[in-house]
Amino acid sequence: MPPSSRPPGDPLPPPLLLRLRAIAEARATSESAHDFLHVLRVTANARRIAEAEGARLDIVVPAALLHELFNYPKGHPDSPRSGEVCADHARVVLRAEGFDAEAIDAIATCIREHPFSLRVVPVTPEGKVLQDADRLDAIGAIGIARCMATCADMKRPFYSLDDPFCATRAPDDKAFGIDHFYAKLLRIPDVLHTATARAMASERVVAMTAFLGELAREI
Domain range summary for the chain, segments of one domain joined by +:
3-120, 140-218
CB proximity list for 167: less than 8 A, separation 6 or greater: none
Amino acid at 63: A
Averaged pLDDT, 153-181: 96
Characterize 200-215 residue by residue with b for buried, 16 or more Cβ atoms within 10 angstroms of its Cβ, and e for exposed. Answer: bbeebbeebeebbeeb
- Local confidence band at 207 (pLDDT 50, 70, 90 cut-offs): very high
Phi, psi of 24 (to 5 degrees): -60, -40
Percent of the chain with pLDDT over 90: 78
115: CB partners within 8 A, 6+ apart: 80, 82, 83, 134
26-70 residue pLDDT tens: 999 888 888 999 999 999 999 999 999 999 999 999 999 999 998
Q: How confident is the model at residue 134 (pLDDT cuts 50, 70, 90)?
A: very high
Work out the average pLDDT over 114-126. Answer: 85
Superfamily of domain 3-120 in CATH is HD-domain/PDEase-like (1.10.472.50)
Q: How many CB atoms lie within 10 A of CB 119?
A: 7
Report how far residue 82's alpha carbon sits from residue 104's, in angstroms, rounded to the nearest whole number.
18
**Nearest Cα to 6, choosing from 103, 150, 111?**
103
Quick check: 59 and 110 in contact, CB under 8 A? yes
With a CB cutoff of 8 Å and minimum separation 6, the contacts of 5 are: none
Which CATH number is associated with domain 140-218? 1.20.58.1910
